[in-house]
Structure 1
Amino acid sequence: MDKATPPQHPLLDATLRTVPRRYRLPELCNDSAPAADASPATTLALVIEQARALLQRGEMPDAALKDRFTGALARMVREAMHADSGDPVFQAMVLRHRAAPVREYASLSARADQDRRAIHAAVNALAHPGKQQRLGPGPQREALAQLHACAGAAAWNELHDAAQRLLEMQQAPALADATPAARGLTQLLEHPALARLRRLDRLASDPLVAQYRSLWERYGPRSGSAGAVAQGRSSRRRGEAAEALATRALQALAQRLNADRDASAPYRVVTSMRVPAAIPAAHERAKTEWDAVLLGQAAAADAAPAWDVCLLVEVKASVDAAATDFPRLLRGLRLLAQADPDDVYSFATRQGTVPLRGAALRALPSASAALSGTVLYCCDAPAEPTPRLLSAASRMQLLSAAPTLDFAATLTGPTPADARELEPVWVALLEAPGWRAVLNQYATLRQVRELMVHPDDLLDVV
């Protein structure tokens, strides 16, 4: 430890050691076998963990383990493809994988918002209501109003026709001075974004595309819809309530620590702490805002008072959310560790700007196995009676692999599907760098759950 960094307060260490970890997972034995009625996801988690342990010892998993993997993955796919109880997101992925119109529709949909903004900007440049007012009553003004209304209604074919009529008016010598410039109308008519939006509308009537959209609607409200807005508002309220509960527990801990030590070097809690751009490292894909932070004031014999990070707290709605966040959290810690030890950095928080010592930031651990005294995930969700051993991210990567989608597509046709078609996924799991996170998924899930506490448990211990 950097000698400029004070040791952790014994009471803080004791609190972190004794707070219950209700989300903790057990270590799996190398010869753990799933129960006869185990779900395919549980079987996959056990098989993947056994494969990881074998590779770590320099041994190759045998054919029997491979067969257990492909058999369990085949069962998970069959369950996900079940018409009534299956996974609509996966079924939509399979439909997109096997149907060219659906693939085109999905590709165009991915950039539709950007295309709509481009066309709205082009229409406003020609037919903004302010521009309309500068024209006298007549067919030109009416045509401009119709063009603008078509853009507002997302009626792309009608918009194209309205622009075409305006262009024809522009070419009439008697009206040339009163109509928009032909160049702008021509550019609008030839705009690739308008062509893509019109194609998107045409594809929407395809039966397979309609089925694809229906599957996504079963998963949740369409993006931008009133239902999606209401759902987002509800999620924000739940998140804010969870953050308030975690902050209250952390403030109680700070008060307890302050009561136990000299008040000249107090502890305090800040929330929404943003990492300044002054730290000389790449901020991309790293956590740059921390939900709640316990700070301890550093001794300041010959300088203005500054603070040290004692505990970083992230609030998550679920274990899956924390597991997905974990790589970003590690990158955030590595970012903080790039601080200049001789510098003091100004961090913006909801409580105002606080100066943090670079030496203490640099001393923060960044290895995933050394975080227990520095990081907590706070979650107010109930602990599951039977925890899921396969993370949501790992499940999705297994299901979205091309051989898995091919296997699922075969299930929709007359040809029998053979689990051996899934062997390329097994090979990728063992060998491909892009599958390392799935191979290590149970070890990562255990680490994340080890860092998770319920705010009520923290308050009880304090």
Structure 2
Amino acid sequence: MTTSHPVDLAVASHVAFAAPSSHDLPGFPPLLDDVLRRTPRRYRAPALPATWEEARAAGTATALAAAIEQARTALASGNAPADDARTLFVDALARLIGHAMRPLTAQGKEGDGDGDAGGDNNEGGPAPAGGGDPAFQAMVLRHRSPVVREYASLSAHAERDRRAVRTAVNALAHPKKTQRRAAGPTRDALLALHAAAGAGDWARVSDVLVPLHDGADTHAEPSLHRGLARLIDEPALTRLRRLDALSPDVLVARYRALWERRGPIAGSEQAAARGAGAQQRGDAVEVLAVQALDGLVDRMNAAAGETRYRIVASLRIPPSFPGDAQRAKSEWDVALLKRSDADGDWDLCLLVEAKASPDAATTDLPKLLRGLRLLAQADIDTTYAFTSTDGEVRLRGASLSALPTEEGDLARAVLYCCDGLEDRTPRLLSAASRMQLLCAEASLDFAAALEDGASADPSRLIPVWRLLLEAPAFTSVLRQYETLRAVRELMVHPGDLQAAVVTTTPSTLPDSR
């Protein structure tokens, strides 16, 4: 069935993500509805290949995206995915793993726009030399080596352990406290203990601790003696010493070298600089979005003959709001409000999120959905005091409880704004989905076999296909293209939005709602 259409449903369903009509948006003012329908969606996700041959030729990541989407649409229709989809999936995943395991380039760069680690691009062109994925190679090494696994496990909590030990040392041997002691061996040992902890020399910390604890002078100070005993038995110190002991291992050294090449380390100055740059770009987009919506608000208020609408920035949910706020969006970049009554209460019409890049919106979506589900728990008879950069805003719970909480309904309440360049070859397999597929145990076993020069039959990756179809943990992977389309349909360029505000002629009578 090589001429079958694996993603016909996906292509056809693009119609479902077109800008909704005013009949679908009962809460939208007519002019806002018209403006949103007329605003171009330059970031819209392209259709997937229409045939298996086209999918294979389009590039490894695109082939994976096509196979995954065919599986999703088949399951959604109550059917089993096509055998061709499974074959395409395992073949493409095998190629993806092969690309990721290639020797690294001098710069250790990873992948291309199609999500392959040094793989082929969306046009199916040749893969560049080198270009392996250091992060994946580090995971394969960790998968294969018990020593590396132990080191990685200890490293994950090392910073917390360092803080714990240094806090305990400070409680016993902070220089301000130690300097008040009479000169002698105990004072010298406490100063040495503090210096060793500050330098991260955990073996030296232990070397100082034991004789200090056993000294006659220390026995004369019960509180100091007990504190030193607790520090000697402190699990964090034991873990740090073990981490240091593992560091010289050849495989550990290789693991560390690979891990350091994957990009800025969390908490590093480079990572902070990159995050600050993205924040600045997002702030600039927010300003442009506010400017566009200000023009829209002026027009809607003029049509209404009164100040009925307003824009607020940095709308923050009150701490006392009902529901579980964990991992949910608690601050919204821009909100368009409609006055509910003369008492100063408002209804929420539209939430706008500003993003530095189109990919950032896809990453943001789960947090946004949790934020909407939190807001939707509002009591319909309660008015809530939100804060914003424009002061306190009283929002009626009735409008909050009516907010959409499912991905397919977001056009009723949410807009993403981005001024990034339009990507002619957008990533159709998300970075998160790519990494989750690579990290499946069967994928890691397959990579290890490749590294050993063993036979690498793609059928060994069928367990990953089964995970995709059956495992709840892989639901986000199964739905990854559907999510991409949904997010991209919500995304507009602020310049396009502003142009639509200026040029749109209302197709309905002035708002009387």
Q: TM-score, normalised by structure 2?
A: 0.83
Counterpart of 2:240, as a letter, is: L
- Does residue 199 (structure 1) correspond to residue 219 (structure 2)? The answer is no
The residue number in structure 2 matching 1:18 is 38
| 2:422 alignment partner, one of 362, 383, 395 | 383
The residue number in structure 2 matching 1:45 is 65
| 1:241 alignment partner, one of 284, 292, 295 | 284
Counterpart of 2:98, as a letter, is: R
Query: 1:377 Cα deviation (Å)?
Result: 1.2
Q: What are the superposed Cα offsets for residues 358-388 of structure 1, whole Å, 9 maximum, x if unpaired?
A: 1111122223222223101122221111122
After superposing the two structures, state which structure 1 stretch, 28-37 or 364-373, moved more. Answer: 28-37
8 Å CA contact retained: 2:162, 2:236 = yes
| 2:402 alignment partner, one of 358, 363, 374 | 363
- Shift of the 223–389 alpha-carbon distance from structure 1 to 2, 3 Å rule, reads closer
SS for the counterpart of 2:497 is helix
Query: 1:32 Cα deviation (Å)?
Result: 6.0
8 Å CA contact retained: 1:16, 1:373 = no
- Shift of the 253–150 alpha-carbon distance from structure 1 to 2, 3 Å rule, reads farther
SS for the counterpart of 2:404 is coil
Map 1:139-158; keep pairs closer than 5 Å: 139-158=185-204
- Shift of the 393–308 alpha-carbon distance from structure 1 to 2, 3 Å rule, reads same
The residue number in structure 2 matching 1:251 is 294
Counterpart of 1:189, as a letter, is: I
The residue number in structure 1 matching 2:229 is 186
Map 1:119-158; keep pairs closer than 5 Å: 119-158=165-204
Counterpart of 1:48, as a letter, is: I
After superposing the two structures, state which structure 1 stretch, 334-343 or 233-242, moved more. Answer: 233-242
The two structures, once aligned, show a CA RMSD in angstroms of: 2.2
| 1:439 alignment partner, one of 442, 460, 478 | 478
The residue number in structure 2 matching 1:228 is 271
The residue number in structure 2 matching 1:459 is 498
Map 1:321-336; keep pairs closer than 5 Å: 321-336=360-375
Map 1:276-291; keep pairs closer than 5 Å: 276-291=318-333
- Does residue 219 (structure 1) correspond to residue 219 (structure 2)? The answer is no
The residue number in structure 2 matching 1:268 is 310
Quote the Cα distance in structure 2 between the aligned partners of 1:425 and 1:42: 17
Quote the Cα distance in structure 2 between the aligned partners of 1:347 and 1:33: 54
Aligned residues: 451
The residue number in structure 1 matching 2:14 is none
8 Å CA contact retained: 1:290, 1:312 = yes
Q: What are the superposed Cα offsets for residues 108-130 of structure 1, whole Å, 9 maximum, x if unpaired?
A: 11111211111111101101122
Counterpart of 2:233, as a letter, is: E
SS for the counterpart of 2:392 is strand
- Shift of the 227–327 alpha-carbon distance from structure 1 to 2, 3 Å rule, reads closer
Counterpart of 1:105, as a letter, is: Y
Quote the Cα distance in structure 1 between the aligned partners of 2:345 and 2:27: 16
Counterpart of 1:428, as a letter, is: L
Counterpart of 1:133, as a letter, is: Q
8 Å CA contact retained: 1:140, 1:179 = no
8 Å CA contact retained: 2:49, 2:55 = no
Counterpart of 1:282, as a letter, is: D
SS for the counterpart of 1:34 is helix
- Shift of the 310–178 alpha-carbon distance from structure 1 to 2, 3 Å rule, reads same
The residue number in structure 2 matching 1:58 is 78
SS for the counterpart of 1:435 is helix
The residue number in structure 1 matching 2:358 is 319
Give unmatched runs, 5+ long, in structure 2: 1-24, 105-130, 502-513
Give unmatched runs, 5+ long, in structure 1: none
- Does residue 89 (structure 1) correspond to residue 135 (structure 2)? The answer is yes
Quote the Cα distance in structure 2 between the aligned partners of 1:45 and 1:120: 48
The residue number in structure 2 matching 1:103 is 149
Query: 1:92 Cα deviation (Å)?
Result: 1.2
The residue number in structure 1 matching 2:442 is 403
8 Å CA contact retained: 2:283, 2:354 = no
Quote the Cα distance in structure 1 between the aligned partners of 2:103 and 2:461: 22
8 Å CA contact retained: 1:135, 1:178 = no
Counterpart of 2:307, as a letter, is: S
8 Å CA contact retained: 2:404, 2:412 = no
8 Å CA contact retained: 2:213, 2:219 = no
8 Å CA contact retained: 1:316, 1:379 = yes
Quote the Cα distance in structure 1 between the aligned partners of 2:402 and 2:434: 36
Counterpart of 1:81, as a letter, is: M
Counterpart of 2:340, as a letter, is: A
Quote the Cα distance in structure 2 between the aligned partners of 1:204 and 1:306: 61
Counterpart of 1:409, as a letter, is: A
The residue number in structure 2 matching 1:310 is 349
Quote the Cα distance in structure 2 between the aligned partners of 1:281 and 1:452: 28
- Shift of the 150–30 alpha-carbon distance from structure 1 to 2, 3 Å rule, reads same
- Does residue 166 (structure 1) correspond to residue 205 (structure 2)? The answer is no
Map 1:106-117; keep pairs closer than 5 Å: 106-117=152-163
Counterpart of 1:71, as a letter, is: D
SS for the counterpart of 2:387 is strand
Counterpart of 1:251, as a letter, is: D
Query: 1:43 Cα deviation (Å)?
Result: 0.4
- Shift of the 368–306 alpha-carbon distance from structure 1 to 2, 3 Å rule, reads same
Query: 1:353 Cα deviation (Å)?
Result: 1.8
- Shift of the 37–158 alpha-carbon distance from structure 1 to 2, 3 Å rule, reads same
- Does residue 347 (structure 1) correspond to residue 383 (structure 2)? The answer is no
Q: What are the superposed Cα offsets for residues 325-348 of structure 1, whole Å, 9 maximum, x if unpaired?
A: 222222221221111111100112
